Amino acid sequence: MAPPLRGGSILLAPPLFFLLSLGALGSQYCVPRKTFPYQDEDLRLFREEGVWNYSTMLLREEQGVLMLGAREAIYALDLHNISSKKAAVYWKVTREKQKECAYKGKQSEVECRNYIQTLHPVNQTTMYVCGTNAFSPVCDYMSYSDGQLLLHGRQEEGKGKCPFDPFQRYSSLMVGSDLYSATFINFLGSEPVVLRSSQTAVRTEFKSSWLNEPTFVYMDHIPESVDSADGDDDKVYLFFSEKAMEYDFYSKLTVSRVARVCKEDMGGQRTLQRKWTSFVKARLDCSLPEPSLPPIVQDVFLLKDHNWRRSVFYAVFTPQSGSSRLSAVCAFSVTAVREVFNEGKFKTPVAVETSHVKWVMHSGELPVPRPGACINNAARRLGMGNSLDLPDKTLQFIRDRPLMDEAVRPLTGRPLLVTRGPALTRIVVDSVRALDGKEYAVMFIGTENGFIQKAVNYEGEMFVIEETQVYEDPQPITTLRLSSTKGHVYAGSTSGVVQMPVSNCGRQRSCSDCVLARDPYCAWDLPTARCASLGSGRSAAVQSLVEGDTSKCPQPEPVPVIEVTLVPGNNLQLPCSAASNLAQVHWLLSDRPLGAGPRYYQYPGGLLLLNASGPDAGRYVCRSVERARGGTHNRTLAVYLLAPGLGGPGGAGKGQEGEAPVDKAVANSTAGPDIPGATAAKGPGPAEPGGPETQTDGGRVAGLRVAVGVLALLCLALTAALLWKVKREPLLRLLPWGGPRESKAKTPVTEYAQVQNHAASEGKTAGEAPGSPCLGNNHHSGVDFKGNGPPHFTSMRDISCLDGLGYINDESEI
């Protein structure tokens, strides 16, 4: 082996070095089309005073309840409205157990409580429930009937079924009457085990080659015996991460794994007695678009198909290094995972000169039957009816070599979705039939700051429909469940559980917005002229998911003209927000692109005109431009008519080119309050007393305004220099005068590259790839107005330096 590099460098085995170097061509990240901040009326919330860690959920759709496990409490909540509690049972630790736990060094009021970790159905009314019980796990049976929730009092030993530590991740699954669990079996949390609790209990070996400091994530059952030509057995798949044994690395490197066992595995006769004879594992590959250490799997969801061969695992990955803020979603087909285990080569340990073990691909012959395989027709023909009949040669091989050489590759060859910003935490996936008759997989992805993103893949193009803030205070989503029949997503966290509908079509107010949302749940209903759910089988509806084609939409109503009095020397604010995060705003002045100038500033909330003068009079049109496969969509959002003297006799109420007029009072109220510190039509008109011609010392005032303009330009140059220097860091953290006071409720999930929707744009910073909302997606690139438009600001806050330089809000300040 070559000597390690000097200077603190590390030496990597060639396969890992190649893995670290992988990256997609281009670093573009998915951007939600719209961001919806927290709103009480769209959500249902359940929490109870003094109860925390709402982390365990079980949907009992036949009974119409959501079973919710928390710290020392279990609830039965109405599945339609979880704010309605139907029943509850409280399962607290005894005072003696709590004292014993604290005596062993644990925190009495935090760790030494009973955290409900396991909830599985046994039959229509009975469930199996386990809790940590102050680091002494215990299980019991519980029933729900006639609105009553009852613990049976038949407590069982919970060791191996439930973790000791309430904050240690684990996974479990009930298959028939057998409980499969992946957890730690001792108080210290140092002995991991994958256990089947049944009449013939089977578990993993306590060997680092089987499980090496794992973090368990997810388990599920695949009925592979159904329609199996070779008489194969059902499988239980386990997803986890662990410290890798196969790479030469100074520090321990974590990798993501998938493992499987056979449902009918009974262990070996002499070798591997009461141990899995079918435990095999492989690395999961989900390469991020930047060179990095292998990302870590955080959550998995199995989207089941009636043909199990078409089922797909969707997995969320986050970086293991704090220097990266990327998260990804990768999809793995069941057939791809199965192929690696059934046909792939194994890794084998070999001794090297440095007296440690190196893992390489096993190139020798394999014993018969194949190690790690289930009992099938071929084994039965050899006289092997179950795993107890397997020969020692096969069992010894799999005992020492449970790791596959080949990694499981993503279904699409690369991540489906990549985001930059707060980490993704949990995922559920729904299968939706759209108007075109096709089925689409819609992903609901939780984040560490309390948002749920909704995304779908259209023929290789990843599209994030929206993101919704489900918690008023940012907090990680730790549990996510989906009820397709009820049409709701349930998100759990430390402080409570939230119910959110899978779609809220009414948020899209126009036909073009409804179609461009490309939401499989929604379509524009022509008879009622509203964006509505597809559930009622609408015959006259417009939906274009792949193309985003709005050509079938009716022509929108003309935008009313807002008349604004132009008073020379005043500062004018013309509010206008982009229609979505993927759109950009384009301003026209008298039907021509607004030219760049030191007095025009565009920001997500509109246009700011400093020190207005006579030549600025005219017709200002704000247009939102958004691209989709179906073409570029232009939409007029606002029209302003600036002219001296409007609002005098005969001035108000005049529209242009057939557009509906708006009186001056409405114009002023519309233009003013949107952005604090700016005014729509400041000062009296020429026909009123006190106009500009009556002001004293006009030369000094004009000079002050010129000075303010020059200082504003210097501030803009400084801002641009800072942006160029630090690139990815949000501007507001670096400006010397500090960022504005902003509400936590509007913290966004991702960094955006486009001009933002004002309702949700506060605090957003520019992404790395302007106009490119998603990896591998070239259909939504932003419109480039270089040379046509004035400088752009990320938000109104980016020009807060104007206030510090004496930005004049009112003539009285002079």
The 3-class SS string of 448-482 reads CCCEEEEEEEECCEEEEEEEEECCCCCCCCCEEEE
Q: CATH 2.130.10.10 in the chain: give the residue spans.
A: 187-290+331-405
| pLDDT tens digit sequence for 752-767 | 222 233 333 333 333 3
Scan for tokens 């060859």, then name that residue: 413
Q: What parts of the chain have a pLDDT lower than 70?
A: 1-28, 354-355, 536-539, 645-814
Single-letter amino acid, residue 296: I
Half-sphere exposure of 669 (CA within 13 A, CB side): 5
- The pLDDT, as a whole number, for residue 28 is 58
Please report the pLDDT score of residue 6 as a whole number. Answer: 32
- The CATH fold assigned to 509-542 is ligand-binding face of the semaphorins, domain 2 (3.30.1680)
Show the tokens assigned to 637.
């959002």
pLDDT of residue 631: 86
Q: What is the pLDDT of residue 484?
A: 94
Distance of alpha carbon 180 from alpha carbon 158, whole angstroms: 13
Domain made up of 187-290+331-405: CATH architecture: 7 Propeller (2.130)
The fold of 561-685+707-813 is: Immunoglobulin-like (2.60.40)
For the chain, residues classed under CATH 3.30.1680.10 are 509-542
Among 53, 87, 49, 48, CA closest to 67 = 87
Q: What is the pTM of this model?
A: 0.79
Q: Exposed (0-12), middle (13-18) or buried (19+): which is 784, by Cβ within 10 Å?
A: exposed
The candidate with the shortest Cα–Cα distance to 463, out of 453, 471, 473, 455, is 455
